[in-house]
Amino acid sequence: MEDLLTSHPMGTLRADSVVAGVITEIRNNEVVVDIGGKSEGVISGHEFDDLESLEIGSEIDVYIENLEDKHGNPIISHDKALQKKNWELIVKNCEEGSILPGRIKGKVKGGLVVNIGVDAFLPASQIDTQAPISLEQYIGQTYDFKIVKINKERKNIVVSRRELIEEERQEKRRALLNEIKIGDIRKGTVKNITDYGVFIDINGLDGLLHITDISWGRITHPSEVVQVGQELDVMIIGIDEEKERVSLGLKQTMQNPWDNIERRYPIGSKVSGRVVNMVAYGAFVELENGVEGLIHVTEMSWTKRINKPSEVVRIGDEIEARVIGISKEDQKIALSLKQLEENPWDMVYRNYPVGAHVRGKVRNMTNYGAFVELEEGIDGMVHVSDMSWTRTINNPSEFLKKGEEVDAIVLNIDAEQQRIALGIKQLTPDPWSEIQKKYKIGTIVTGKITKIASYGAFVKLEDDIEGLVHVSQISEDRVEKVKEVLKVGDEITARVIKVDKDERHIGLSIKAANYDDTTFSVEIKAFDKVASGGELVSLSNMFDNFGVEEDTKQNSPQTE
């Protein structure tokens, strides 16, 4: 004490200086120190790492913040004394880039306070390579730190732990890149998950595990299989030394399910699976993890026309199918639903032989015919030309109605093209086969006018046969307009003047109904001569063009 009083008389003590002091008392959380002044100073116990290690009478450095407080006692600090001395040492001996050990003291705005002999600032972004979840977890921990900035004027220091970690990882990366090779299996930790893949840390080396290399099966997002922080054994499948990155595979560490695929799913075998995806042309069925088969829309039904797979199956459906094709190289399996059942078209020759009398419902009609359902999925078609022996049918709606039950005769079968030709007129004998016996030239007939044309009138005879009275055969007088002489519904008597069995047409004459045989013979020759000379439209054309002329007339302006 005498030495201290001698060396530090009260008059020589000053604020903002470091002096030696002697511990005179150790309390619960305080340390009393004599600095040679008129009174003792008190230092908080928090400034010492271990109070129990202190001894009364031992000497310590103290920093004088103020010579007197309001009670006349000096304000002193052991921690600030050390900081002041250490600051001078650091400024003298260290520079930016130097590495020092330090202990994290506490949390401040934007980061942490680190004691490296003096208090230094550790920004939150420089704590680790990844943003920390909580800063509190680092308080009390001791690490090495790199000095990144020294501000002598403000007496503050900024340090980084991240740079040291990155430098260490860089060294490990270089060493690992020189060591690894494609095909190696390495352990890594999942760092980040994206829509397209997973980033994995392999002892400091970044690797990308693409979503297509995670599983042999179908996945929509990597998070279905892995989680951040998870450890995985992965295979090196690509190396980029320039970018110091590697491509990784997880599924490659497992057996490829397409190995021996032909043995597990032979063609013709019956399999079961779950519908996992649908596209416009078919449905994908998962048979096992990593193995899917496609059911094309054409393989969903023998008889129904399937426009989209959703008409038959839905995602999640558990179904059975038959294997109809395998391509191991392309990793494709073709499946069929319809081939689980017998093709009904294979039975049509037996069930609907040519000439058979069948019955069905009119399911649909087109311009050229009507489709008749014989059984579910089996339709036959009646062409307009096979609906009537005697009538010219321009549209099937003139003869049939949708939903109507009809009888027909099987005319032809093409099972390969899935077509059956039916005929309705074939149910009855063809009245034209005996036409020349019933309607000989010169025969007197009666009938009702059914249609009027510019060139004549059509007359309905027995057996639904129609004859035509040409305008020249209506009257002895010249007829300019047929409708002025005859009307639809009129009953007339006429004489057969021409019969064309091949073309199925009969020519009639009203004016010749009362001719004697001689006069009638002359009229026949005159009729034939005019027709053969081109002055008269042929009988065949008259019948065939009736509908066309009527349509043209209806679509043209009316003239009188």
| DSSP secondary structure string for all residues of 347-373 | GHHHHS-TT-EEEEEEEEE-SSEEEEE
Report CA-CA distances (Å) from 287 to 231, 334, 338, 339, 473.
Answer: 29, 12, 18, 17, 80
Domain ranges of the chain: 2-82, 94-165, 180-253, 261-340, 344-427, 442-555
Q: What is the mean pLDDT of residues 164-184?
A: 84
pLDDT for position 37: 62
Would you say residue 348 has pLDDT above 60?
Answer: yes
In this prediction, residue 38 carries a pLDDT of 65
What pTM was estimated for this model as a whole?
0.46
When pLDDT is averaged across residues 257-280 and rounded to a whole number, the result is: 91
pLDDT the model gives residue 533: 46
The per-residue pLDDT for range 517-543, each reduced to its tens digit, is 888 888 888 887 665 544 344 454 555
- Six-digit token pair at 218? 């179908």
Q: Residue 427, CB half-sphere, CA atoms under 13 Å: how many?
A: 14
Task: Give 299-320 pLDDT, tens digit per residue.
Answer: 998 878 888 999 999 999 999 9
Nearest to 228 by CA among 133, 123, 138, 160: 133
CATH topology of domain 180-253: OB fold (Dihydrolipoamide Acetyltransferase, E2P) (2.40.50)
- Class level of CATH domain 344-427: mainly beta
Contact criterion met (CB below 8 Å) for 43 and 30: yes
Query: What is the helix (H) or strand (E) element at residue 521, kind and residue range?
Result: helix 517-532
- Does 180-253 match 94-165 at the fold level? yes
- Give pLDDT, residue 532: 53
**In terms of pLDDT, which residue wins out, 175 or 157?**
157
**DSSP letters along 132-157, please?**
-S-SGGGTT-EEEEEEEEEETTTTEE
What's residue 279's pLDDT?
93
Name the average pLDDT for the chain.
Answer: 85
So what CATH class is 261-340?
mainly beta
Task: Report the alpha-carbon distance of residue 81 to residue 48 in Å, rounded.
Answer: 12
pLDDT of residue 531: 57
Q: Which residue has the higher pLDDT, 543 or 182?
A: 182
Task: Region of 432 please: left (phi>0), alpha (psi -120 to 50) or beta.
Answer: alpha
Q: Are 106 and 139 in contact (CB under 8 A)?
A: yes
CA distances from 222 to 233, 234, 253, 289 (A): 16, 15, 17, 15
The answer to whether residues 340 and 322 touch, using CB atoms and an 8 Å cutoff, is yes
The CATH class, in words, for 2-82 is mainly beta
**Highest-confidence range of 167-171, 389-393, 409-413, 555-559, by mean pLDDT?**
409-413
Q: Which residues 6+ apart lie within 8 Å of 294 measured at CB?
A: 282, 283, 284, 285, 332, 333, 334, 335
Could you tell me which CATH class the domain 94-165 is placed in?
Answer: mainly beta
Neighbour tally for 204: CB within 10 Å: 18
Q: Does residue 354 have a pLDDT over 70? A: yes
Quote the pLDDT of residue 470.
Answer: 92
E strand or H helix that includes residue 556: none
Per-residue pLDDT at 386 exceeds 80: yes
Q: Which fold has domain 442-555?
A: OB fold (Dihydrolipoamide Acetyltransferase, E2P) (2.40.50)
Strand, coil or helix: what is 178? helix
- Position 203 confidence tier, pLDDT thresholds 50, 70, 90: confident
pLDDT of residue 142 exceeding 90, the answer is yes
Of the listed ranges 60-64, 194-198, 280-284, 447-451, the least confidently predicted one is 60-64
Give the separation between CA 66 and CA 17, rounded to whole angstroms.
10
Sequence-distant (6+) residues with CB within 8 A of 414 are 420
Residue 36: the pLDDT is: 80
pLDDT of amino acid 113: 93
Could you give the CA distance from residue 235 to residue 432 in angstroms, rounded to a whole number? 86
pLDDT of residue 541: 53
SS3 497: strand
pLDDT at residue 553 tops 50: no
Indicate the pLDDT class of residue 79, thresholds 50, 70 and 90: confident
Q: What are phi and psi of 130, to 5 degrees?
A: -115, 145
